[in-house]
Amino acid sequence: MSLKISRILHAGYVFEHAGTTIAFDPVVENPFSRNCHAFPSVRFDLDAVRALRFDAVFISHLHDDHLSLDSLDCLHRATPIYLYCVFDELFDMLRQLGFEQVTRLQVDIPVQVGSIEVIPRRALDDDVDSLFQVRAGGLNVLNVVDSWIGPETLNQLAAFAPWDMVLWPFQTMRELAVIAPRMAAKGEVALPDDWIEQLQALAPRFLVPSSCQFVQEDWSWYNHAMFPITYARFAEEIGAALPASSIMRLDPSVSVLLDAGGVTPAAPLPWVIPVGPQDVDFDYRPDAPPPPTSEIARRFAPLTAEDTVLVMDFCRHDLLARYRDMELPDDSYFQQPRLWRLALYGHDGAATVLHYRIDGDMIELASETDEAPGWSTEVPLVKCHAALVLGESLTSMYMRINDIDFDAATTAALQEADIVDDPLIRTLFNDAIGAYQAAQLRRLCARPEENGATR
């Protein structure tokens, strides 16, 4: 019997076999993760989603483009949820949302759901994510999700070669290029060296470029700087290295039937509705200059006076307390005395500039000065608020690190610095486990009961 595989969006899939239906990392929002816009574009029939009865849902990790409470809120609360995560907080949130069966996945421990077996496999960064081996009807499918595969796991998985299908995370997002463009490498980006070796070891009959079906806002410079791998390039370079593998693109809603004889088209998911052209590809422009933060800030609606006060109060008080409470790494750039310049841009493009003196784990506001800074951070005011209140992630904040002219000595020192040393990054995101989901949960639990999802 064939295995039906359908693409929801991004890393989301539905697998159906012999009366069993399971979903992986289901996201039914557009945009999702606040500013990830489906690419190609889709909309969702949420009434139809609410009528679904999955036999189980598997979630690979806690990142908000894979684990979204707004999406899970559409599902029946009796749906078993299997989550790979080392943090208890996320399991508690799922139970608070009303799910009755929430189970922690363990590496190499199979989960049998009807006729489908799912085996979590160890990712290179196993504190964060996992990958999935799916077995049904004598077929073997590897869902790599967002993971990097380490040598031991590759040896384990190569023993099952040739795989019937591999869902491969084909996009290498250039976060450094958009957060700290002056520090990022320029020009074209090569495919990771180990991709071809790993895929040759897996020897898939069918290979699906997976886990990146989004772009940022249509005006965003990020769309040309952060996504260097096109579908066309992946098919050309990987196809040349794996001539026996069929590279097959699955757009949202598209379904196929996989069996020992090959792949045939199947009826699409009726609740994932394509919008506009679907045969789209990424548009990487390595030499595109980044716009100034002042221009980006004008793209967003202004904050209310109350929300502005909240952000400024954080920057003048709470940020200092959080920074002092954190343990600074021994090799931190800020183990030496530095002057930090923070510029917060409002909707009018004007900046409120604050200076801080930092020496190790000590920090204090500095009076207005003409002294040259040793570190610079720029961010739209509205995005700082979103990170504080809504759990917005770093790569959607339009933060700009060290994008000013420094003297020669400071420029040389910055070459050895890590952008996560940035004091704003550290105070917003250090130990902020599940901040996005926590903000979702607060909102969902505050709604009127009659507007809630099916229980």
Q: What is the pLDDT of residue 186?
A: 84
Q: Is the dihedral of CA 107, 110, 114, 115 positive or negative?
A: positive
Q: What is the pLDDT of residue 126?
A: 94
CA distances 94 to 62, 78, 84, 169, Å, are 11, 12, 13, 26
What's the gap between Cα 385 and its chain centre?
Answer: 20
**What dihedral angle (degrees, nearest 10) is formed by the CA atoms of 210, 247, 175, 68?**
-10
Average pLDDT over residues 182-209: 94
Quickly state the pLDDT bin for 455 (edges 50, 70, 90). Answer: low
Average pLDDT over residues 412-426: 93
CA–CA dist 131, 210 (Å, integer): 13
CA–CA dist 362, 364 (Å, integer): 7
Q: What is the pLDDT of residue 452?
A: 45
Q: What is the pLDDT of residue 432?
A: 81
**Per-residue pLDDT reduced to its tens digit, 277-334:** 999 999 999 988 999 999 999 999 999 999 999 999 999 999 999 999 999 999 999 9
Average pLDDT over residues 162-187: 93
Q: What is the pLDDT of residue 430?
A: 87
Report the DSSP beta bridge partners of residue 144: none
Q: What is the pLDDT of residue 454?
A: 52
Backbone angles phi and psi of 225, in degrees to 5: -110, -25
Statement: residue 420 has pLDDT above 60: yes
pTM of the model: 0.95
Q: What is the pLDDT of residue 449?
A: 59
CB 67 within 8 A of CB 90: yes
Q: What is the pLDDT of residue 450?
A: 46
**Per-residue pLDDT reduced to its tens digit, 58-117:** 999 999 999 999 999 999 999 999 999 999 999 999 999 999 999 999 999 999 999 999
Q: What is the pLDDT of residue 81?
A: 98
- Surface-to-core class of residue 170, CB atoms within 10 Å of its CB (0-12 exposed, 13-18 middle, 19+ buried): buried
Statement: residue 41 has pLDDT above 80: yes
* Structural domains of the chain, with CATH: 3-274 (3.60.15.10), 293-446 (3.30.1050)
